[in-house]
């Protein structure tokens, strides 16, 4: 671990090791905060850095310990979305100044609530989308068309009679042979059955709410 007197290098080292663990590029600067905020995956090496800050040693002077405490507070406040608050509380000694954790814990609670709300919103949107798909499927499978003796195919201008026919989303009816006819002048555009052979309306691009 780098000397605590070089905080930027120490944090960079923790981030680098964390990114390597997840096989991420070191150039992905926005990965840590976005990934932690969305999936609650914290950087455990930053917790180790916090432990180093509060761990007393024989070689540390009171001034250096004061500097380490200040560095720890700044680290917790600036990277609260990347640090697990439970692990931090476990790592800190019982006599730690509670005021030093106030900003960190407040932000951690906000991030936790944000993640929970985001998760609930995504779940609700997914359920709504699923219900909409089911509703459209039900509507599509229960619709019906009526073919009469005088019903005419708009492509060949002949009656449908007992021939096989195709129904488009706008409920228009054409002979299936007219839909797939190789002699049709619009054959190149009719490779997709979503294109009406008479009007050339592309129902994929302009869907109809049947």
pLDDT in tens, 20-32: 877 554 445 455 5
Q: State residue 130's pLDDT score.
A: 87
pLDDT at position 186: 52
Instruction: List, in sequence order, the alpha helices (H) in the chain.
Output: 7-21, 31-39, 44-54, 62-78, 85-91, 102-142, 176-180
The CA distance from 47 to 42, in Å, is 9
pLDDT tens across 44-79, in order?
Answer: 899 988 888 877 665 666 666 677 778 888 888 888
SS3 label, residue 165: strand
53 neighbors 68 (Cβ within 8 angstroms): yes
Tell me what pLDDT residue 117 has: 83
At 145 the three-state DSSP class reads: coil
Q: Is the pLDDT of residue 39 over 50?
A: no
Residue 39, helix vs strand vs coil: helix
In tens, the pLDDT along 131-173 reads 888 888 887 778 788 888 889 998 889 999 888 888 888 888 8
Q: Which has the closest alpha carbon to 115: 155, 84, 75, 73?
A: 84
Q: All domains of the chain, ordered by start, with CATH?
A: 7-116 (no CATH), 144-210 (3.30.40)
Q: Residue 144: is it exposed, middle or buried by C-beta count within 10 angstroms (0-12/13-18/19+)?
A: exposed
Residue-averaged pLDDT of the chain? 76
The radius of gyration of the chain from alpha carbons, rounded to an integer in Å, stands at 33
Other C-beta atoms within 10 Å of 87: how many? Answer: 16
Backbone angles phi, psi at 167, to 5 degrees: -115, 125
Are the C-beta atoms of 135 and 175 separated by less than 8 Å? Answer: no
% of the chain at pLDDT higher than 70: 75
Tell me how far apart the alpha carbons of residues 15 and 25 are, in angstroms, rounded to a whole number.
Answer: 11
Give the integer Cα–Cα distance in Å for 47 and 92: 10
Quick one: pLDDT at residue 59?
61
């Amino acid at each position: 671990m780098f000397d605590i007197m070089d905080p930027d290098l120490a944090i960079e080292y923790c981030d680098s090791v964390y990114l390597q663990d997840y096989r991420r590029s070191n150039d992905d600067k926005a990965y840590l905060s976005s990934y932690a905020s969305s999936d609650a995956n914290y950087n455990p090496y930053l917790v180790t850095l916090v432990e180093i800050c509060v761990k007393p040693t024989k070689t540390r002077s009171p001034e250096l310990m004061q500097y380490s405490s200040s560095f720890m507070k700044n680290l917790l406040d600036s990277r609260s979305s990347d640090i697990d608050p439970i692990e931090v509380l476990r790592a800190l000694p019982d006599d730690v100044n509670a005021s030093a954790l106030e900003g960190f814990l407040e932000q951690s609670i906000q991030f936790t609530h944000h993640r929970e709300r985001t998760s609930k919103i995504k779940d609700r949107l997914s359920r709504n989308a699923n219900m909409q798909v089911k509703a459209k499927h039900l509507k599509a499978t229960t619709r019906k068309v009526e073919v009469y003796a005088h019903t005419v195919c708009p492509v060949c201008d002949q009656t449908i009679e007992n021939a096989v026919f195709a129904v488009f989303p706008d409920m228009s009816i054409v002979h299936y042979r007219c839909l797939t006819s190789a002699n049709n002048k619009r054959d190149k555009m009719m490779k997709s059955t979503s294109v009406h052979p008479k009007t050339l309306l592309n129902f994929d691009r302009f869907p109809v709410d049947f």
